[in-house]
Amino acid sequence: MTKMTKLAVAALLGLAVVSTTASANVNKGKKIYMKKMKAACGFNGAKFAAKHTQGEWEKIKGAGKFAEEAAKICPGLKLKKKYINDVYDFAHEYGSDSGNVPSC
């Protein structure tokens, strides 16, 4: 019985690690911004991300209003649901208080 329990715990731990690394990506968010959003926004990704601090981006994402906020910053932008997590990671990573500057 203990071998089965250990195996189940190990499998759950392995799945948890794999699922968190595959969920969202800062670099993918940067590419999405450059290809899909930059024209609508009219400025580079550094200016977009610097519109809020990292904490403010967290609150916006937590409230489920990230796409709405992106549309406010970039009028006319319709951010697809599949891009939200990656673009959020990009915006959070390069928020105004992060000290990081993207190269886009």
- Residue 11: inside a domain, yes or no? no
- Digitized pLDDT (tens) for each residue of the chain, 104 residues in all: 687 776 666 666 666 654 444 567 999 999 999 999 999 999 999 999 999 999 999 999 999 999 999 999 999 899 999 999 999 999 999 999 988 888 76
Report d(CA 49, CA 41) in Å as an integer.
12
Give the domain range for residue 87. Answer: 23-94
- Residue 9: inside a domain, yes or no? no
Grouping H, G, I as helix, E, B as strand and the rest as coil, residue 64 is coil
- Residue 3: inside a domain, yes or no? no
Say how many domains are in the chain. Answer: 1
C-beta of residue 91 within 8 angstroms of C-beta of residue 58: no
- Residue 8: inside a domain, yes or no? no
- Residue 27: inside a domain, yes or no? yes
User: Model pTM?
Assistant: 0.73
- Residue 4: inside a domain, yes or no? no
Report d(CA 84, CA 90) in Å as an integer.
10
